[in-house]
Chain A
Amino acid sequence: MKRRGPLKELWNSTEGRFSLVVISGLVILAIFAGWIAPYDPYDITQRTFPLQPPSTRHLLGTDGFGIDVLSQIIYGARVSLTIGVLVGVGVAAIGGFIGALAATYGGISDTLSMRTVDFIMVLPGLPIMIMIMTTIGSSFWVMVMIFIMFGWAGTARVTRAIVLVEKSRGYVDAARCAGASKMYVLMKHLLPATYSILFVTAAFAAGGAILAEAGLAFLGFGDPKLVSWGKMLNFARTYNAMILGAWWWIIFPGVAVFLASFSIMMMGIALEKTFNPRLRERDR
């Protein structure tokens, strides 16, 4: 099949089109939140009566403090998307590099890193994150670091497997015979072979990070200075939104989390299909 530009190919699959539309919509919301949002959730003077149901003035109602829910969701996109992007990139970069390194050099560095990967994969993630955040404090950057710390393992394992396969191909031997060093082969031949899979794992890591951020913020470990979807749900729970009948305060932030995470993971699936056409036959 003739290959076109990657964006065009993405656009041609249903999943790709859906995810591109939703993600670009969310990105626009996040960047231009100041212009798009009807109210500024950080501005105390713009608060009105609490717990108003959805109406024309407040499309998604107001929460228990009288803050417009829709505006909070628009501003909350900033936190979720930045965390998703940072964690996705971090996981792909660190995991990809360690995995490729382990596969090219082998020996003790391979066993050591893969034992670490096995260990991280079975650890109880959330309790350890809570323990770390209780001791060193919860802020945006701590959260990003922790997510990368737990996320790189899976990517490293996948990358290592791919590099191992690639390493046994003839052209690598040829390069080695021509006098290329291991590092040169790694940077020039082996790492590029993993790029496609790294994009896919980055997408999944980003989706997972958005969910994890929502979960931690829901438990009260979000950055105290930022409006985020998880934090809205946290307040909704602690201020008994359910008993007060404020369903809009519970449902809409969750839908936002789902949409963001879902569209990014969908992007991962679409990328996987364009990079690996053989999958198409199996799992259409």
Chain B
Amino acid sequence: MVLTIFLALTFSFLLIRLLPGDPAERYYGDPRLPIEIKTEIKAAFGLDKPVYMQYFIFLGNAVKGDLGISYTYRRSVVGVVMERMPWTLLLTTVPTVLSMVLGLKIGTYIAFNRLKFFDRFMRSVAFALNSVPTFWLALLMVMGFAFYLPIFPLQGMIDPLAVTMPERFFSVLRHAALPWITIFMVTLPSFAVHVRNLTINILGEDFIITAKAKGLKKAQIRKKHVLRNALGPLFSILTLRVAGLVGGSVLIETIFSWRGMGLLVLEASRGSDYPLLQATVLITIILVIVANFVADILQAVFDPRVRYS
């Protein structure tokens, strides 16, 4: 885990240093600045030192949780990123958890009733949604349910006129509703189909036949034998989603003007704010690596088979 984080840090350092031009030039922007101030700024950022020294300083600072100063915000990038993170988590976790809970139910249901109408319907929807550009779907949702039928606000996270606590709370809910629905719509069918395929694979195993032969009821088989065995693989699907949970969806956040991590990446890119861009991506990657590490441990705790292989 430490090694991968180290590699990610090195890679992003190299990527930023590959840029043509002087990073200090980009910081002060105006080339007419007196030369003394230029050298002063360079010294302050350690840019007068050779590149390998800069690399070690960068690593040392990163360990201490310092990834530099944003050009646009003029303060610590880690602070800026941490302010955005809760908003992204609010946007992503709610529909993801919902679609997982519901997807588990629907997935096992269509697995037990496979090739019936609902099963075919769910799979066709999931497959078609695979090729619908999510951002376009979000645009259509905004056009339909915020513009032509003004049920939800067009964009943003909160009404600036909302002052009191409950007012602010409901305003955020109203603004989050449409992105939530969009994310939920996209994730639910694919998750349900995942669960379905897993369940069908498990239903073909010998121990299910044994369970049936013992005379167990369907509900008991579903709970004790199928679900328990599906948890492991489902867990690994979840770890693939962590990047999306923490990093947010750049596209969805752009369309709804939701000022989270994804939009931050885009803002930093448009403003050529390299430290901020680097920090946002790096923090997402580091959190993903840590989450995967934790997931591996948890999986070994829950599933004894993982420990022995």
Contact = CB atoms under 8 A, between A and B. Distances in A.
Contacts of A251: 140
Interface residues of B, number: 52
B239 interface: yes
Given A122-B242, A215-B251, A127 B272 contact: no
Given A265-B127, A282-B200, A122 B292 contact: yes
Interface string B1-31: 0001000000010011011000000000000
Contacts, number: 117
A108 interface: no
Contact of B247 (A124, A133, A214, A283): A124
B292 A219 contact: no
Nearest to B16: A135
A124 B285 contact: yes
SS class of chain B's interface: helix, strand, loop or mixed? helix
Interface in A101-147: 119, 121-128, 130-136
B133 A131 contact: no
B280 A127 contact: yes
B130 interface: yes
Contact of B244 (A124, A131, A257): A124
B132 interface: yes
B139 interface: yes
Contacts of A214: 133, 135-136
Interface residues of A, number: 40
Interface in A230-245: 233, 237, 242-243
Interface in B251-296: 251, 254-255, 261-262, 265-266, 269-270, 272, 274, 277-278, 280-281, 284-285, 288-289, 292
A124 B243 contact: yes
B142 interface: yes
Nearest to A251: B140
Contacts of B127: 265, 269
A265 B123 contact: no
Contacts of A250: 136, 139-140, 143
B250 A130 contact: yes
A134 B139 contact: no
A122 B239 contact: yes
Given A123-B288, A134-B272, A257 B136 contact: yes
A127 B132 CA distance: 20
B136 A254 contact: yes
B147 interface: yes
Interface string B182-218: 0000000000000000001000000000000000000
B288 A122 contact: yes
Contacts of A218: 133, 135, 251
A42 interface: no
Contacts of B262: 126-127
Given A127-B262, A250-B139, A283 B123 contact: yes
3 interchain residue pairs of minimum CB distance: A254-B136, A261-B131, A124-B243
Interface of A: 119, 121-128, 130-136, 207, 211, 214-215, 218-220, 233, 237, 242-243, 247, 250-251, 254, 257-258, 261-262, 265, 269, 282-284
